[in-house]
Amino acid sequence: MKTICTEEMKAMLLFIADRVMESKPMLTEVDSRIGDGDHGIGMETGFRAVKEVLSGEDFDTVNQLFRQTGIAMLNSMGGASGVVFSTMFMGGVKGMQDTSQIDTQAFADMMSRSLEAVQKRGGARRGDKTMVDALEPACAAMSEYQGGDFGEIFCRAAEAAQKGVEETKRYAAKFGRAKSLMERSIGYQDAGATSVWIIFRAAADWCLKKEAEEA
């Protein structure tokens, strides 16, 4: 896939929503080891709201689609996760020219702006054991990609995000409830980073599935 139109992006986001919701038990288990254990519930709640909003409305631009996705998450999730994950979707389209079709380069640029917005909003940097540990390498992988295929760029993003998740096991938490555990949080992966990996893996799977159906 060289470009994704608004209608296709909507289908992809709905696919991602289903994947995140299906991952609730795993995310709950990951978070319960060093956190409150409610990350899976929050992500399921957020993406259920996304499904409700996207399923019941037509969108003219990719910008509107991502903006409404972020708003749905912010209004339904609450807490720090609601803020940073909604920013992941809304931050990149802020100030972006309206478009009904996007290519890999424009998408990579959009996600780089999302990363900047997330870091500005939450204050986390790589190594702090947060979603940034998966989002930053995923964005870097997309920016470095010189090809034009969405299936490939999402596969690279997912692979980089997964490596980022693994790296969080080496870090002591600096945010959230896990922060109080200090060195005892080492050895466990971060739930927010895990959610970022799930999102990019789902995006890759959607693209590969669509490409196979059209082959």
- For the stretch 102-153, pLDDT in tens is 999 999 999 999 999 999 998 889 999 999 999 999 999 999 999 899 999 9
- Total residue count of the chain as it appears in this document: 215
- Both tokens assigned to 157: 């993003």
pLDDT value at position 180?
54
Pick from 106, 38, 46: which is nearest to 70 by CA?
A: 46
Q: Which tops the pLDDT comparison, 1 or 180?
A: 1
Pick from 133, 150, 138: which is nearest to 200 by CA?
A: 138
Q: How far apart are CA 29 and CA 169, in angstroms?
A: 15
CATH of 3-214, one of 1.25.40.340, 1.10.3300.10, 3.50.50.60, 3.10.150.10: 1.25.40.340
Q: Is 173 exposed, middle or buried (0-12, 13-18, 19+ CB in 10 A)?
A: buried
- Report yes or no on whether pTM surpasses 0.85: yes
Q: Are 196 and 135 in contact (CB under 8 A)?
A: yes
Q: How far apart are CA 73 and CA 46, in angstroms?
A: 4
pLDDT in tens, 140-183: 999 999 989 999 999 999 999 999 999 999 987 776 665 555 56
Name the helix (H) or strand (E) containing 101: strand 101-103
Q: Are 59 and 65 in contact (CB under 8 A)?
A: yes
The residues with which 3 forms a beta bridge, in sequence order, are 103
Q: How far apart are CA 67 and CA 73, in angstroms?
A: 10
